[in-house]
C-alpha cells in the first residue's frame, strides 16, 4: 500500500455502498491504519445515486474534503455507468471495480476512455447464492480489498469475522453467509 489510498464509491440508495465504505474504514482501522469513511449526502431516497469516500493512510490525514482524484472507484450498480461519470479524476495507475456479470473488456467502452485497470465481480450472483438476497455491498467490499490491497486480505477476513460475530452474535447463518460472500468475491474478481 502506498502512503495514502483514496477510494470513491458509486451506488444507489439501499444497496449498501455507504455501509461498505464504513466497514472498509473499520477494517483498515482495526489493521492499525488511519482512516476516513464518509458519504456525500444529497436527496437520499431508495434507488437514487449516492457517493461515499474512503481515505486510508499509514500516517494521520488532515485532508477533509471529497475525493476528486481517487486511486480506485467502486461501482456497486452497473446502470450508473450510463448516468454518472464514474471515471472522473480516476488515477490510471489505480482501477475501477464494477458489480457486473460481464467481463471487464465488455464494460471498458462505457468508461470514457479510462486507460487503467478494469475489474468486475458478479456481486448479485454471489450475494444471492451466499446470503439468499441481493446485498451487493459485501462482495464489493471484498473486491475492493482484493484489488487495492489497502488492507492485508487475510487480516481483513479475520477482522470482518470478528465484526460480524459482534453484530450478529445470535444469527450464525448471517455470519457464515457474509463470510462466504467475502471469500467468494475475493476469488472471483476479474481484471482487464
Residue 44, pLDDT above cutoff 70: no
% of the chain surpassing 70 pLDDT:
97
Per-residue 3-state assignment (H helix, E strand, C coil) for 19-70:
HHHHHHHHHHHHCCCEEEEEEECCCCCCCCEEEEEEEEECCCCCCCCCCCCC
Mean pLDDT of 19-42: 92
Give the integer Cα–Cα distance in Å for 127 and 105.
23
* Three cell numbers, residue 60: 494521520
Report whether 56 contacts 88 (CB < 8 A): no
Tens digits of residue pLDDT in 131-145: 999 999 999 999 999
Residue 171, pLDDT above cutoff 90: no
What is the predicted pLDDT for the residue at 79? 96
Residue 40, pLDDT above cutoff 90: no
Whole-model pTM: value is 0.93
Tens digits of residue pLDDT in 47-86: 789 999 999 999 999 998 999 999 999 999 999 999 999 9
Amino acid at each position: 500500500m502506498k502512503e495514502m489510498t483514496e477510494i470513491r464509491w458509486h451506488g444507489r440508495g439501499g444497496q449498501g455502498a455507504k455501509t461498505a465504505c464504513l466497514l472498509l474504514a473499520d477494517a483498515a482501522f482495526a489493521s492499525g491504519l488511519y482512516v476516513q469513511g464518509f458519504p456525500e449526502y444529497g436527496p437520499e431516497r431508495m434507488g437514487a445515486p449516492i457517493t461515499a469516500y474512503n481515505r486510508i493512510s499509514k500516517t494521520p490525514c488532515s485532508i477533509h474534503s471529497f475525493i476528486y482524484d481517487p486511486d480506485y472507484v467502486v461501482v456497486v450498480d452497473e446502470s450508473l455507468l450510463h448516468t454518472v461519470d464514474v471515471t472522473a479524476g480516476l488515477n490510471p495507475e489505480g482501477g475501477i471495480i464494477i458489480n457486473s456479470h460481464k467481463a471487464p473488456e465488455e464494460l471498458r467502452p462505457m468508461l470514457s476512455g479510462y486507460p487503467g485497470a478494469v475489474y468486475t465481480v458478479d456481486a448479485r450472483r454471489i450475494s444471492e447464492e451466499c446470503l439468499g438476497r441481493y446485498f451487493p455491498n459485501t462482495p464489493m467490499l471484498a473486491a475492493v480489498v482484493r484489488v487495492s490491497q489497502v488492507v492485508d486480505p487475510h487480516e481483513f477476513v479475520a477482522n470482518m469475522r470478528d465484526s460480524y460475530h459482534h453484530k450478529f452474535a445470535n444469527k450464525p447463518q448471517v455470519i457464515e453467509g457474509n463470510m462466504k460472500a467475502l471469500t467468494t468475491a475475493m476469488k472471483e474478481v476479474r481484471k482487464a
